[in-house]
Amino acid sequence: MIINWFPGHMAKARRLIEDNLKVIDVVIELVDARIPMSSTNPMIAKLIGQKPSLVVLNKADLADPDCVAEWLAYYKQQGRLVLALNSKDSRSVKQLLSKVRQLAAPKLERWKMRGLKTRSVRTMILGIPNVGKSTLINTLAHRNVAKAADKPGETKGKQWVHLGDKLELLDTPGVLWPKLENQTYACRLAATGAISDTVFDMETVISELIRELGQWYPEELKSRFKLDALDEAPLATVETIGRKRGCIVSGGTVDMEKTYKLILKEFREGRIGAISLDRVEELSGEDA
């Protein structure tokens, strides 16, 4: 099954972003620290152009710290300003405001030199659905101004949010790109919740997730689900997990759908461990 999800409101969101970028001074590109490359919308680089921007690896508390360090080094090598944080931690996000002001400083200085009145710095957060934009905005604003939810596609319009001393932020909907060519990335997007659970095949996504966890985090996987060993076939491991957790239907067979949802929930909540699915070494020599 090919995974794709680009509902009508996302096309509208892309147009909204294009229309408002001209009044923005600094762009914050938000990605999921567990899957930085999979959660990077290739359209965003084209939209931003030469406008000052920084990459924020959100949900860093759920990601493998060693992998986070490698991704920070990668982005710095690409010449990008980058920051890893947990959007629920107010101490963590203070660094972000400092970076935004740092990027806006040259423009403010030019205004000052020309004798123009300095207005508030305008910033915009761009990213895919369910990457934590609303939670980050609420933490920055110290109040609930954006609707935060555990499912993608909740933010449909735009709103300006005042963040304090001459700093305003434009909240925009999360947007995917029209075609997900890389299906490995698509499975990772589905696993982390960036794609609606109603539009992908659970068996495919969970099978791939268990395969990757078995490759990179076998001990964490065994420990969480009290497994003696991992089967070579990912779905056999899933079935064992279902039996261990009591996901049994009449006749003694495992309820696989219930087990899929259980594994997905525990992965998304970080209960299996600090997990990263994207690896810097996956990138080709040309991109890395």
Residue 211 CA to residue 189 CA, distance in Å, equals 15
Residue 108 CA to residue 26 CA, distance in Å, equals 12
pLDDT tens per residue across span 32-82 = 999 999 999 888 888 888 899 999 999 999 999 999 999 999 999 999 999
Q: The domain spanning residue 91 has which CATH number?
A: 3.40.50.300
Instruction: Tell me, yes or no, whether 122 and 263 share the same domain.
Output: no
Least confident of 32-46, 106-120, 258-272: 106-120
Q: Which of 124, 155, 171 is the last residue of a domain?
A: 171
Domain assignment present for residue 220? The answer is yes
Q: Which of 171, 188, 221 is the last residue of a domain?
A: 171
Residue 96 CA to residue 88 CA, distance in Å, equals 13
| pLDDT score, position 245 | 96
Domain assignment present for residue 106? The answer is yes
Q: Are 229 and 218 in contact (CB under 8 A)?
A: no
Residue 168 CA to residue 58 CA, distance in Å, equals 20
Instruction: Tell me, yes or no, whether 90 and 151 share the same domain.
Output: yes
Instruction: Tell me, yes or no, whether 143 and 211 share the same domain.
Output: no
pLDDT band at 144 (very low <50, low <70, confident <90, very high): confident
Quote the pTM value.
0.87
Helix (H, G, I), strand (E, B) or coil at 126: strand
| pLDDT score, position 81 | 95
The percent of residues in the chain predicted with pLDDT above 90, rounded, is 50
Instruction: Tell me, yes or no, whether 139 and 14 share the same domain.
Output: yes
The percent of residues in the chain predicted with pLDDT above 70, rounded, is 87
Q: Residue 232 is part of which domain span? A: 201-282
pLDDT tens per residue across span 3-22 = 555 555 556 767 778 888 88
Of 91 and 286, the one with more pLDDT: 91
Instruction: Tell me, yes or no, whether 101 and 240 share the same domain.
Output: no
Instruction: Tell me, yes or no, whether 138 and 256 share the same domain.
Output: no
Which whole number is the average pLDDT over 104-115?
A: 80
pLDDT tens per residue across span 167-215 = 899 887 777 655 677 889 889 999 999 888 888 899 999 999 999 999 9
Q: The domain spanning residue 208 has which CATH number?
A: 1.10.1580.10
Instruction: Tell me, yes or no, whether 21 and 107 share the same domain.
Output: yes
Domain assignment present for residue 177? The answer is no
Residue 57 CA to residue 10 CA, distance in Å, equals 22
pLDDT tens per residue across span 84-101 = 999 988 888 888 988 998
Instruction: Tell me, yes or no, whether 32 and 149 share the same domain.
Output: yes
Domain assignment present for residue 288? The answer is no
Domain assignment present for residue 270? The answer is yes
Task: Give the chain's domain count.
Answer: 2
Domain assignment present for residue 179? The answer is no
Instruction: Tell me, yes or no, whether 108 and 245 share the same domain.
Output: no
Instruction: Tell me, yes or no, whether 115 and 240 share the same domain.
Output: no
266 CB neighbour count, 10 Å cutoff: 16
Instruction: Tell me, yes or no, whether 20 and 148 share the same domain.
Output: yes
| pLDDT score, position 109 | 80
Q: Provide the mean pLDDT of the chain.
A: 86
Domain assignment present for residue 143? The answer is yes
Residue 28 CA to residue 163 CA, distance in Å, equals 14
Domain assignment present for residue 192? The answer is no
| pLDDT score, position 153 | 43
| pLDDT score, position 288 | 44
